[in-house]
Structure 1
Amino acid sequence: MTIPSAMERYKSALFFLVILLHIALLNFAFMDESGLNFMPEENLRWSTQLVHLGIAFVTLAVFLVTEAFLKLRKEGKIAIREPILIVCSLSMLISIGFLLMD
């Protein structure tokens, strides 16, 4: 088994682990006017870990649904037209706006 075929076989698990690690590292420290602040106690709480796992699972679900649609599109079973892409872009923009609200 070569490395690319092993990566293809475990692609979903690798994706989940990379996203989980990425979220945990981003939440581990933050920068403000006084400099870099580390928060190991907050990052090790169960509630924080559950939020990280939830975000990683939702991201994995979006990834798997996108892969399924792309596979169906490649097989010619569905067609993705421009209005769908516009709706997806608008929904992403609204989601980002919602997350940035105070």
Structure 2
Amino acid sequence: MKNDNFFEKVYQIVQRIPYGKITTYGAIANFLGTKKSARLVGYAMNSSHSIKNLPAHRVVNRNGLLTGKNHFASSNLMQELLESEGIKIENNKVVHFKDHLWIPS
């Protein structure tokens, strides 16, 4: 599978993440049938900044850590966007992670 095609599929899923919810790189990879490609999902997210209205801030690692925060315009922007949706963050981690988790289906 070409990366461009894979990246586009990742972005289609990210567009579906509901307001006030988060998902993980691994959940996206699993949904795409490529369970071991969570890192590639991360690469897709790192390349997504030119895509308007993509809620990239809603994708975190499997432990709820804001591992992508350094790829935003400012290092606090990811946290600010999540908090504006009612998701509490402490020490760069989603509080009550499982309560906010959205699994693509």
Q: TM-score range by the shorter chain?
A: under 0.3
Of structures 1 and 2, the one with the larger relative CO (CA 8 A, separation 6+) is: 2
TM-score when scaled to structure 1? 0.24
Q: Give the TM-score normalised by structure 2.
A: 0.23
| More helix, by proportion | 1
Q: Of the two, which has the highest radius of gyration?
A: 1
